[in-house]
Amino acid sequence: MNRLLALLVLLVATFGAVLAYGDPAELIKARHVVSHVFSAQAARPMVASSRVAEVPRGTSGEFSLHAKINGVVTPMVVDTGASSVVLTYETAKAAGLPLELLEYNVEIETANGHTRAARLTLDRLSIGKLVERSVPALVVPRGQLKSNLLGMSFLDRLESWEVRADKLMLRGYP
């Protein structure tokens, strides 16, 4: 939206300069108008996106949250070292994912060691007002992982994420 507004202002300024080219007084007035528009745009406070989630740091240092996977609430740990969202077998079953159709042919390393996982796509993964659809994920066999991991296949879809004062700020695109 800001890019569109800046482009519109630039076009108006260009048009004004072309019209005023023959009259120096008009050119000065046009310059003041453009300067005023840009300074007003820069001074306007940024509107907070409604697609923001704040996650407090846990006592053991991790960022844990509750997400909804296909409408089912489940605990997850944010893991920027995980290239994908990774679900436990139990969570995948609770979310109604087609476990009987999965092929465990992706080799991965977890905190528990080496294992295989199965690829799938989550219809919907949401954290508060942040909702992403068709999120690539992995499921590990029963007992291979203690926690669900919110990895980069979700985080890369966000406009930004950052840690600030023991809070993880997740910002979705408006």
pTM higher than the cut 0.85: no
Residue extents of the structural domains in the chain:
2-43, 52-171
The pLDDT tens digits of the residues spanning 156-170 come to 999 999 998 899 999
CA-to-CA separations, 117 to 28, 106, 141, in angstroms, rounded = 66, 5, 7
The pLDDT tens digits of the residues spanning 51-106 come to 899 999 999 999 999 999 999 999 999 999 999 999 999 999 999 999 999 999 99
**One CATH from 1.20.120.450, 3.30.300.130, 2.40.70.10, 1.25.40.10 for 52-171:** 2.40.70.10
The pLDDT tens digits of the residues spanning 123-137 come to 999 999 999 999 999
Distance in angstroms (rounded) separating the CA atoms of residues 42 and 85 = 38
Burial zone of 15 (CB within 10 Å; 0-12 exposed, 13-18 middle, 19+ buried): exposed
pLDDT band at 33 (very low <50, low <70, confident <90, very high): low
CB 30 within 8 A of CB 62: no
